[in-house]
């Protein structure tokens, strides 16, 4: 390997109170929360839109509610409110969501289905950021950090306008990959314990026809009705179960890592069909990623061919949307002051410094939170070890795979974003390090901003 020494360069400095790195699932909420708390807030997002994996990979937003339907006698509770719910409310106003529709079959997995229109989500989230006066920098990447001992002084941002230094008091890493934490020297590992995925939107199909196909073959496992193309009581979620003899569609689909769960907000459209692939190394390995991108593109086309071939009435299916690049379920796992364990989750553990509560587990009904209840996500679970002014949120926290299968889900990431964004702003405005922030002050602000803390 040959090397080249890059020459040092003078770059312009921009000053903010708070910088949020990554405008995805958690980052959008973190930036709105920070700006509304009164901090001059910059949001740095590498793509030309906001939303992250919510608009690129997922099928429905899990979950704003507890799993009440699986536990007869347990009260239905909306356990995530605040800014995440505001996004859904705004989407409802423009026909961009099914709403929180009650699952009619498969409700021991999630009692509701909240599906979204991916394109409206991008627009609505950008407009909400604008309304909150967040300084949004799109097509801009976090590429380095300027440290002052254990404190981040600024980050290096790269765009077609060149390299710039963004100085601030507090920083929140919402990049999913943990890029900012890694630049800042935080301790991390790369478990590579999930498949990566790409998802496609498929048109020229009929969810009713998919329903008839699964029903006829006794293979229906999830069923939900909600708002679709402006009409209530339409099918919005279906999933398939294994049957004997195996359905050729499911068997061939499994070979290309195809998920069979379908959600939709619009007629004649499957919003997400996911294709999975386990990587050799890690999603931060460029060469591995390049190879996997090709395989996933091939799988996408194969998936459409399977839909055309096996689902009667879907012979003219075609791809209308693909993820711009592969979607990860976990990149770097960042060391934080507290690590949420599986015991915490299944025992519905509560903490004295909670920023949110949550009631969904992706392995339900096999792993569930006790009695359809909720567990708390403590403030210290977001504090990046040994760094004084940096928070980590979303898929980069929680070590144990089975615990991560809960905390990594969209609505959890969004709630974490509100907690971290509010805390970062309070620290910046009061000149505090993240560990000096009085919890009573943070809690007061979260409750004022309609965060549900389990009372
Ligand atoms: C295929 C797939 C399907 C899923 N299905 C579901 C589901 O159905 N329901 C559910 O609830 N959850 C689902 N999940 C989990 C959930 O969607 C994710 O865990 C969650 O959205 C992650 O949120 P995040 O904020 O941590 O990261 P992201 O939403 O990925 O946000 C990270 C953002 O940071 C940006 N970024 C990255 N690096 C940089 C950089 N250096 N500089 C600037 N910007 C940067 C990215 O462009 C992105 O916008 C799924 C995940 C995957 C991968």
Same domain, 318 and 423: no
Do 283 and 53 contact (CB within 8 A), yes or no?
no
Torsion sign (Cα): 255, 258, 259, 260: negative
* Residue 397: DSSP 8-state: -
Query: Domain check: are 186 and 305 in the same one?
Result: no
Model pLDDT for residues 122-140, shown as the tens digit of each residue? 999 999 999 999 999 999 9
Structural domains counted in the chain: 2
Indicate if 183 and 247 belong to the same structural domain.
no
If asked whether residues 215 and 311 sit together in one domain, one would say yes
Tell which one of 57, 142, 195 to mutate to probe ligand 1, the residue whose CB is within 8 A of the most ligand atoms: 57
- For residues 126 and 249, membership in a common domain is answered with no
Q: Are residues 442 and 367 in the same domain?
A: yes
Domain ends where: 268, 293, 322?
322
Which of these three, 260, 288, 322, is where a domain ends?
322
Q: Give the residue from 322, 344, 374 where a domain finishes.
A: 322
Residue 455 has pLDDT above 80, yes or no: no
Q: Domain with 74 in it: what CATH number?
A: 3.50.50.60
**Of all residues in the chain, what percent carry a pLDDT higher than 70?**
100
Report the separation in Å between the CA atom of 71 and the middle of ligand 1, taken as the mean of its atom positions: 30
CB distance 258 to ligand 1 below 6 Å: no
Question: What mean pLDDT do residues 421-449 have?
Answer: 98
Domain hosting residue 86, numbered range: 13-99+115-193+331-448
Strand order from edge to edge, sheet including 112-113: 112-113, 101-105, 220-228, 231-240, 262-263
Ligand 1 binding pocket includes 408 (Cβ within 6 Å)? yes
Same domain, 306 and 336: no
The closest of 45, 48, 77 to 64, measured between CA atoms, is 77
pLDDT value for 368: 95
- Residue 217 in any domain: the answer is yes
pLDDT at 299 over 90: yes
- Whether 453 maps to a domain, the answer reads no
For 20-59, the pLDDT digits (tens) are 999 999 999 999 999 999 999 999 999 999 999 999 988 8
Task: Give the per-residue pLDDT at 59.
Answer: 84
Residue 272 shares a structural domain with residue 230: yes
Strand ranges in 323-388 using DSSP code E only, listed in sequence order? 333-334, 354-358, 375-378
Q: What is the mean pLDDT of the chain?
A: 96
User: What tens digit of pLDDT does each residue of 350-377 get?
Assistant: 999 999 999 999 999 999 999 999 999 9
End-to-end Cα, the chain, rounded Å: 60
How far apart are alpha carbons 345 and 349 in whole angstroms? 6
Task: Give φ, ψ of 190 to 5 degrees.
Answer: -125, 90
Per-residue pLDDT at 66: 97
Can you tell me the mean pLDDT for 71-100? 97
Looking at the fold, whether 205 and 174 belong to one and the same domain comes out as no
Predicted confidence (pLDDT) per residue in 202-258, tens digit: 999 999 999 999 999 999 999 999 999 999 999 999 999 999 999 999 999 999 999
Nearest CA to ligand 1 atom 45: 22
Q: Is the pTM of this model over 0.85?
A: yes
42 lies in some domain: yes
| Same domain, yes or no: 278 and 315 | yes
């Amino acid at each position: 390997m040959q090397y080249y020494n890059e020459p040092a360069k003078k770059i312009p400095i921009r000053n903010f109170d708070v910088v949020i790195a990554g405008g995805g699932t958690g980052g959008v909420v973190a930036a709105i929360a920070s700006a509304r708390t009164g901090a001059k807030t910059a949001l740095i997002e590498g793509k030309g839109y906001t939303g992250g994996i919510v608009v690129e990979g997922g099928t429905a937003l899990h979950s704003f509610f507890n799993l009440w339907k699986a536990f007869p006698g347990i009260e239905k509770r909306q356990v995530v409110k605040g800014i995440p719910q505001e996004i859904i409310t705004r989407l409802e106003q423009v026909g961009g969501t099914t709403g929180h529709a009650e699952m009619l079959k498969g409700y021991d997995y999630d009692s509701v289905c909240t599906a979204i229109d991916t394109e409206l989500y991008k627009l609505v989230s950008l407009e909400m950021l604008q309304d909150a006066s967040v300084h949004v920098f799109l097509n801009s990447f976090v590429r380095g950090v300027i440290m002052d001992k254990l404190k981040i002084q600024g980050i290096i941002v790269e765009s077609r306008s060149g390299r710039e230094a963004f100085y601030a008091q507090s920083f929140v890493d919402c990049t999913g990959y943990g890029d900012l934490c890694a630049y800042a020297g935080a301790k991390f590992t790369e478990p590579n314990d999930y498949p990566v995925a790409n998802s496609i939107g498929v048109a020229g199909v009929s969810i009713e026809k998919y329903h008839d196909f699964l029903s006829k073959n006794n293979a229906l496992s999830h069923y939900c009705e909600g708002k679709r193309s402006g009409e209530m009581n339409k099918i919005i979620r279906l999933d398939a179960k294994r049957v004997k003899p195996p359905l050729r569609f499911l068997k061939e689909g499994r070979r290309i890592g195809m998920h069979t769960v379908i959600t939709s907000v619009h007629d004649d459209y499957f919003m997400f069909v996911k294709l999975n692939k386990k990587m050799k190394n890690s999603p931060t390995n460029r060469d591995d990623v390049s190879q996997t991108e090709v395989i996933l593109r091939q799988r996408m086309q194969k998936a459409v061919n399977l839909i055309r071939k096996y689902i009667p009435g879907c012979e003219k299916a075609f791809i209308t949307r693909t993820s711009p690049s592969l979607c990860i379920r976990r990149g770097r796992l960042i060391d934080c002051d507290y690590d949420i364990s599986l015991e915490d989750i299944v025992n519905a553990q509560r903490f004295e410094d909670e920023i949110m509560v949550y009631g969904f587990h992706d392995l339900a009904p096999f792993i569930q939170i006790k009695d359809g209840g909720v567990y708390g996500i403590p403030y210290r679970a977001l504090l990046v070890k040994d760094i004084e002014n940096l928070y980590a949120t979303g898929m980069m926290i929680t070590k144990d795979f089975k615990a991560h299968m809960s905390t990594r889900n969209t609505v959890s990431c969004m709630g974490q974003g509100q907690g971290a964004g509010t805390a970062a702003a309070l620290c910046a405005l009061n000149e505090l390090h993240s560990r000096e922030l009085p919890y009573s002050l943070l809690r007061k602000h979260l409750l004022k901003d309609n965060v549900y803390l389990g009372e």
